[in-house]
Chains A and B, each alone.
Chain A
Amino acid sequence: MSAVATPARQASGGMSTKTLNRIVIYGLLALFALFYLMPLFVMLVTSFKTMDEIQNGNMLALPKAPTFDPWIKAWSEVCSGLTCVGMKGYFWNSIKMVVPAVLISTLLGALNGYVLTKWRFRGHTLVFAMMLFACFIPFQSVLLPMATILGSFGRFGVTLQNATGFNFGLGNSTVNLVFVHVVYGIGFTTLFFRNYYEAFPNELIKAAQVDGASFFQIFRRIMLPNSLPIIVVTVIYQFTNIWNDFLFASAYAGSGDVMPMTVALNNVVNTSTGVVEYNVNMAAAMIAALPTLIVYVVAGRYFVRGLMAGAVKG
């Protein structure tokens, strides 16, 4: 055993197998780190280069004269199709969509998880299973009916507008997307909270009942204050998913000034009028990626936990 414990001293002539092993392992790990970092690195350096440097220089080289112009252009001037107003409007579209959708779906998930673990009724497993299955459907199988329904919401909104002077948000693309993301997000949020509350001691609920707390008082005073970790996990998971969504966004807000970020980015990159400004495209892509990247850097631990919770059921 001691030979294994101190291999370096055993090898007098050269490197021991153990040291060699370590070098190979670290080498491989570093190589893969390069593989994962490369596209981000290229995107980042390109976004600070001039077009001239891009066409004549090396993709991997650092910018010789770093310039913020591509970022400024991407933010406020870049063309998406025929409109050239930059990404900023679409960025706010995404924010206006993401924030309410995340808050509503998280709150509903918390309530559902609370009911499904602490106020069980006959058939609670079936109800949960049906909501859980909804997380896994390919959204293509509901895409068309939803488009039809949103269309009639819009027509109804116009009727309301004419009748009452206010359309209650019906027909508004942002409202539509919030609705869609809440509908198809509650499966996940319910799953997260249900699994978390499953481990939450039932005796606390009993104690609160004896203390005279009502259904909602228990939720607000006992459950929520003790749910911070899962709230963070759920909010991050939902934020990332909704921000990154492309399918719903392109189907229900695929053109005009109502587009969310992902759709706008795709349009910018595929706009073929004039010279393709790769530096601006990359800056636009970076702007689209930044919010989720920042969340990942700040709260990576919770991000991973959310992914895991979404992967491991039960």
Chain B
Amino acid sequence: MSVATSQIKLTPERSRPSVRSRLQDALPKIVLAPSFAITIVFVYGFILWTIYLSFTNSKTFPSYVITGPRAYQRLWGWTFDSDPPSSWYTSIVNMGIFGFLYIAICLALGLFLAILLDQKIRGEGVLRPIYLYPMALSFIVTGVAWKWFLDPGLGLEQTLHQWGWTSFHFDWIKNKDFVIYTVVIAGVWQASGFIMAMFLAGLRGIDGEIMKAAQIDGATTFQLYRRIVIPLLRPIFLSAFIVLAHLAIKSYDLVVALTSGGPGGSAWLPSNFMYEYTFKRNEMAVGSASAVIMLMTIVAIIVPYLYSELREKPR
């Protein structure tokens, strides 16, 4: 018997649910609806809006006449005649350098510190919060602190000169070819402690009996980590990578506070490019196009991840 016929048979016997009880049944959806509507409009609607703007000739004010992919052609159409070829070129090269070093160093340092801390360390309770506190600071404060610390005239360089190492020279923060590496240093300083905490939680979650079994099998400490522990931490690597990639693409404040964009915009990341072009240089369409490219990069990383995370647990 199909569902439809059975319901036709049953309808007359059942009392009609009252308006009140139907309202009761719909209440959960009514409660969720505003949040969902907000998300649809202010996230997905706005994304479409931004994509639309990127295909117009908007300058200071939005224009809604589609003029084709001109903004994208401007972004990607640099020549190597000038140095740097273009601000966008600088931004994406910086993104590559910063993204790679930031993620790689944070992962390596985080794992290294976690393994050290996992050796039954006295005072772990003191050290762990020390490694992690920078994550509580804003990028702006981090930037201000490191700007001071790396300033050739006041910071590290000057201090070492005073201690007698007069040949020491460290002016990356003022050097257009190296300024992006100072962003890496400050970024790593801020996030690596958190990555350490993630790995440490992962290490603590490993079944102690597996470790005992491996020791009985004669594995050295190094082999134990290399062959058993690190492979078991794979899911943590994935989560940490996602977190870092996400932070890296969004990093805007750090560049602003640490370098004010660097000499001639040499420290720009795509996020800075977007902000500058949209709000300061009155190139709204180009700014929008750069935002779309940032979004696509995130989508390429996050969507497969979210899909696998939410799908793995069928109910």
Write the residues of chain A forming the contact surface with B, with a CB cutoff of 8 angstroms: 25-26, 28-29, 32-33, 35-40, 42-43, 46, 54, 58-60, 108, 111-112, 115-116, 119, 121, 125, 127-134, 136-146, 148, 183-184, 186-187, 190, 214-215, 240, 243-247, 250-251, 262, 265-266, 269-270, 278, 281-282, 285, 288-289, 292-293, 295-297, 300, 303-304, 307-308, 310-314
Contacts and interface: CB of A to CB of B under 8 A. Distances in A.
A144 B140 contact: no
B144 A125 contact: no
A311 B243 contact: yes
B121 interface: yes
Contacts of A60: 159
Interface string B35-77: 1101110111111011001000000001000000000000000
Interface in B251-280: 252-253, 256-257, 260, 270-271, 274-275, 278-279
B298 to A, nearest CB: 6
A205 B62 CA distance: 50
Given A121-B28, A142-B46, A32 B131 contact: yes
Contacts of B144: 43, 265-266, 269, 281-282, 285
A136 B257 CA distance: 23
Contacts of A40: 133, 145
A140 B136 contact: no
Interface stretch (B7-15, B99-107, B289-297): B289-297
B275 A29 contact: no
Contacts of A243: 138
Contact of B35 (A112, A146, A148, A314): A112
Contacts of B18: none
Given A42-B149, A138-B291, 18 more contacts: A29-B117, A58-B162, A59-B154, A59-B159, A112-B32, A127-B36, A133-B303, A137-B298, A183-B38, A215-B24, A265-B140, A282-B145, A285-B141, A293-B136, A300-B132, A303-B136, A314-B309, A314-B310
- Ranked nearest first, the 9 interchain pairs of A and B with the lowest CB-CB distance are A244-B138, A119-B28, A246-B253, A296-B136, A142-B46, A39-B145, A145-B46, A145-B49, A140-B291
Nearest to A108: B35
Nearest to A301: B129
Most buried by B among A35, A136, A250: A136
A22 B92 CA distance: 44
A120 to B, nearest CB: 8
B173 interface: no
Contacts of B243: 310-311
B78 interface: no
A245 B250 CA distance: 12
Interface string B141-164: 110111111000011101100110
B109 to A, nearest CB: 8
